[in-house]
Amino acid sequence: MARSVARRSRPRRSSISGTGGGHRNTGHGGPAGEARPSPGSSPPGTPDLRDGAEVTVTTGPVSDAIDHLQAEHREIAALLERGLRAMAPLAALMARHAVQEEEIFYPAVRRAAGRGVAAALTHAVQQRRAIDRLLREVAGQAAGAGRRQRFDELRARIEEHVREVETTVFPQALRCLSRPERVALGERMDLLVQES
């Protein structure tokens, strides 16, 4: 007759380098239950982030301004796909996005790049003003074919704006702003989002 053998379970060790220093990862390390990395436990070749970390355990990756704006461009595209039923969140996101572009990003690019980017930035601001007008018109219009047509126009204007910013302004910003400068701008944008 076969005899069952009771196995004692042993605590499992973390297989993720740098999350437990060789000790069992209980998940109770940080304020939100995340593991804390132990000094010197990262595998060879891992960049030393102690002199200006670009990734933190509690907040995740620090995005630069261009990454931040591109992520919002993807959110905007997703809302446009939902159509008229996403008008309220689209309008809110567009308003927040405009403030980040026009009060934080564009002035920094203008200061760094000078007159070479002035025309592209002026055009981007003019596009935004036209988009704002269309947003208000579509939001205030009664349901029907006319509203749908105005929404299609709005969508085309937003897509054109995003395309032009990503192909003209972003390359200029990459040339004239260092990574630390872009990260600092991204942090300002994050703070602005948190405050709103």
pTM of the complete model beyond 0.85 = no
Assess contact for 135 and 94: CB atoms under 8 A.
Answer: yes
AA letter at 147: R
Model confidence at 160, in pLDDT bands (50, 70, 90)?
very high
Model confidence at 195, in pLDDT bands (50, 70, 90)?
confident
Distance, in Å, from the CA atom of 182 to the CA atom of 163, rounded to the nearest integer, reads 20
Assess contact for 165 and 121: CB atoms under 8 A.
Answer: no
Please report where in the chains the tokens 């929404």 appear, as a residue. Answer: 151
Express each pLDDT in 23-51 by its tens digit.
Answer: 344 444 444 443 433 333 333 443 333 33
Express each pLDDT in 135-156 by its tens digit.
Answer: 999 988 888 888 999 999 999 9
